[in-house]
């Protein structure tokens, strides 16, 4: 038996924006793989683009990962603090002839294609020869350029013949004609490395064994394979995962609404539900199973189950997963999330963590079958946690329509006030007896009462609601609602 060393994987975001769902899914796959294989997850911040880099966003990305439950074992490392390494690598390549100094002007790119399509004046995409002219420059010419102090970058001398191969755990063995690969830049004229260089140097230095990343990097992987070769290192296993697209099949962006992980946290999604949903975007167990808790996700995860087709982010399904978790978690598991939600909306009372702990757990349990998002606890279920709530206009219109309602509510108040032992059955008995005596259907009174005590048409079954609220509250709210009903 050969002893296979534990895999080392990494998630390497660049701080040019928040943590979006695509990055989150990549991070999740890396984490699942590391946990499944008993390996190590490294977090690396790729902040080598001084133009687009926004250091203040790093904390947000870290927070997003923490919320997601993706825990890294090493890092975060910052590429901006490892610049010497990249320079040394570039010099090594320069010395070996695998790279050369380039004095060309940077080619215009940003938005060039789009600008041309829009018929923009003067927009022109400049074509660069696959082989940079500087590559053939004589030593004398170079000296001349150096003496003039011309800015220069380090460019990789891509192989011109033959093929470059690498294996992808998802897409299979790949083979690319070297003639297709251009002389790409390794070190900018500013001395900062490009992605190609810094990623490879770091992955070698950090002994990364599996690179699990978005399929947008698939086309550039041959370049990196060449770099590994030139640097005298063995390439790791590559595993490119399909991209996540918006409903219009284009790459997810701000236009598609919420795309940041933090926005889902704020909207009231449970991290575990989000993980379950995200894991199934581009991966499956190979069976029909879908409801997979995190421990199952970890034990079932495998690179061979990763799909090769881009997936569209379906919010409706995410919401379904959330409602499932809201219902299937144990109350104990759910409580901390509800507590955080109520705290966030200013409805939290410390007593619910002390003397009224049981009441709180019971109420959450009562409410949860009707919740889809955590925020439901502080929006439609507000009346269970606060005396300050309003009467929903639609609900009043629908259930306080009958002119007998105000009188009935008044009589019900008296009947309930007379109830000695406040429980489900005594409340039900009092209400049904009144309905029968008044010759109205119980449903009429039930629905009107629900609106009166919680302000809306949607709530758990009435008598359970009454017990949860307690006698004093119910009586007080009925007295408050009766005139409002009369005004209806």
Partner RNA sequence: GGCGCUAUGGUGCAACGGUUAGCACGCGGCCCUUUCAAGGCCGAAAUACGGGUUCGAUUCCCGUUAGCGCUACCA
Report, as residue numbers or ranges, the catalytic residues.
254
92, 372, 429, 479: residue in contact with RNA (rule CB under 7 A): 372
Half-sphere exposure for 259 (CA within 13 Å, toward CB) = 18
Diameter of the chain measured on Cα atoms:
110
Token digits of residue 4? 């296979």
Least CB distance to RNA at residue 388 (A): 21
Residue listed under structure tokens 């975001």: 13
Least CB distance to RNA at residue 94 (A): 15
Closer residue to RNA in complex, CB, 171/352: 171
Cβ 443 vs Cβ 399: under 8 Å:
no
21, 24, 28, 102: residue in contact with RNA (rule CB under 7 A): 102
User: Among residue numbers 119 through 148, which ones bind RNA (CB under 7 A)?
Assistant: 128
In the shown chain, the binding pattern of residues 408 to 447 toward RNA, with x for contact by CB under 7 A and - for none, equals --------------------x-------------xx--xx
User: Among residue numbers 46 through 75, which ones bind RNA (CB under 7 A)?
Assistant: 46, 48-49, 51-52
User: Among residue numbers 201 through 230, which ones bind RNA (CB under 7 A)?
Assistant: 215-220
User: Among residue numbers 237 through 256, which ones bind RNA (CB under 7 A)?
Assistant: 242-243, 245, 249-251
- Strand order from edge to edge, sheet including 237-241: 74-78, 40-45, 8-11, 210-214, 237-241, 163-168, 172-177
User: Among residue numbers 277 through 336, which ones bind RNA (CB under 7 A)?
Assistant: 280-284, 286-288, 290, 305, 307-312, 314, 316-317, 319-320, 323-324, 327
Least CB distance to RNA at residue 209 (A): 20
Closer residue to RNA in complex, CB, 434/462: 462
Q: Is 298 left (phi over 0), alpha (psi -120 to 50) or beta?
A: alpha
Chain-centre distance for alpha carbon 331 = 24
Instruction: For residue 64, give the nearest of 76, 74, 53, 52 by alpha carbon.
Output: 76
Token digits of residue 269? 């999604």
Q: Which helix (H) or strand (E) holds 142?
A: helix 139-148
Closer residue to RNA in complex, CB, 323/348: 323
Instruction: For residue 156, give the nearest of 130, 176, 175 by alpha carbon.
Output: 130
Least CB distance to RNA at residue 431 (A): 8
345 binds RNA (CB under 7 A): no
457, 479, 484, 486: residue in contact with RNA (rule CB under 7 A): 457
Least CB distance to RNA at residue 279 (A): 9
Cβ 324 vs Cβ 291: under 8 Å:
yes
Cβ burial of 410 (10 Å; 0-12, 13-18, 19+) is middle
In the shown chain, the binding pattern of residues 32 to 51 toward RNA, with x for contact by CB under 7 A and - for none, equals --------------x-xx-x
Q: Is the dihedral of CA 283, 287, 288, 290 positive or negative?
A: negative
Least CB distance to RNA at residue 39 (A): 22
Q: What are phi and psi of 347, to 5 degrees?
A: -105, -5
Number of chain residues interacting with RNA (CB under 7 A): 89
């Amino acid at each position: 038996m050969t002893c296979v060393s534990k895999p080392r994987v990494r998630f390497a975001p660049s701080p040019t924006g928040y943590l979006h769902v695509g990055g989150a899914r990549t991070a999740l796959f890396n984490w699942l793989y590391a946990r499944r294989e008993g390996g190590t997850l490294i977090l690396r911040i790729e902040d080598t683009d001084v133009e687009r880099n926004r250091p203040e966003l790093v904390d947000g990305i870290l927070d997003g990962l923490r919320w997601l439950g993706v825990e890294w074992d090493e890092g975060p490392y910052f590429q901006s603090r490892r610049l010497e390494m990249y320079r040394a690598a570039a010099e090594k390549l320069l010395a070996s002839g695998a790279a050369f100094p380039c004095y060309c002007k940077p080619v215009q790119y940003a938005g060039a294609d789009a600008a041309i399509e829009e018929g923009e004046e003067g927009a022109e995409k400049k074509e660069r020869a696959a082989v940079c002219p500087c590559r053939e420059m004589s030593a004398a010419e170079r000296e001349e350029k150096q003496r003039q102090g011309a800015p220069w970058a380090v460019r990789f001398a891509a192989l011109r013949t033959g093929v470059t191969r690498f294996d992808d755990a998802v897409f299979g063995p790949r083979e690319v004609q070297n003639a297709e690969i251009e002389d790409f830049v390794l070190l900018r004229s500013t001395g900062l490395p490009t992605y190609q260089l810094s990623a490879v140097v770091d992955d070698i230095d950090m002994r990364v064994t599996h690179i699990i990343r978005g399929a947008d990097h698939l086309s550039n992987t041959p370049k990196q394979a060449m770099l590994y070769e030139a640097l005298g290192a063995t390439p790791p296993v590559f595993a490119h995962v399909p991209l996540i697209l918006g409903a219009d099949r284009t790459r997810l962006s701000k236009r598609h609404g919420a795309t940041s992980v933090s926005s889902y946290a704020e909207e009231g999604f449970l991290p575990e539900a989000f993980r379950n949903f995200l894991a199934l975007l581009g991966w499956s167990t190979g069976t029909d199973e879908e409801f997979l808790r995190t421990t199952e996700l970890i034990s079932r995860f495998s690179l061979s189950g990763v799909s090769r087709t881009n997936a569209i982010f379906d919010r409706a399904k995410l919401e379904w997963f959330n409602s499932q978790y809201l219902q299937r978690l144990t109350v104990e598991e759910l409580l901390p999330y509800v507590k955080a939600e109520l705290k966030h909306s200013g409805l939290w009372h410390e007593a619910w963590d002390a003397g009224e702990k049981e009441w709180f757990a019971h109420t959450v349990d009562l409410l949860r079958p009707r919740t889809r998002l955590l925020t439901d606890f502080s929006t439609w279920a507000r009346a269970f946690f606060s005396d300050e709530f309003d009467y929903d206009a639609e609900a009043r219109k629908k259930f306080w329509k009958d002119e007998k309602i105000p009188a009935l509510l008044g009589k019900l108040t008296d009947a309930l006030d007379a109830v000695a032992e406040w429980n489900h059955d005594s409340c039900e008995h009092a209400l049904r007896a009144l309905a029968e005596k008044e010759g109205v259907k119980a449903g009429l009174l039930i629905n009107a009462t629900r609106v009166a005590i919680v302000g809306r048409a949607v709530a758990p079954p009435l008598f359970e609601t009454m017990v949860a609220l307690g006698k004093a509250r119910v009586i007080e709210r009925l007295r408050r609602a009766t005139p409002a009903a009369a005004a209806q």
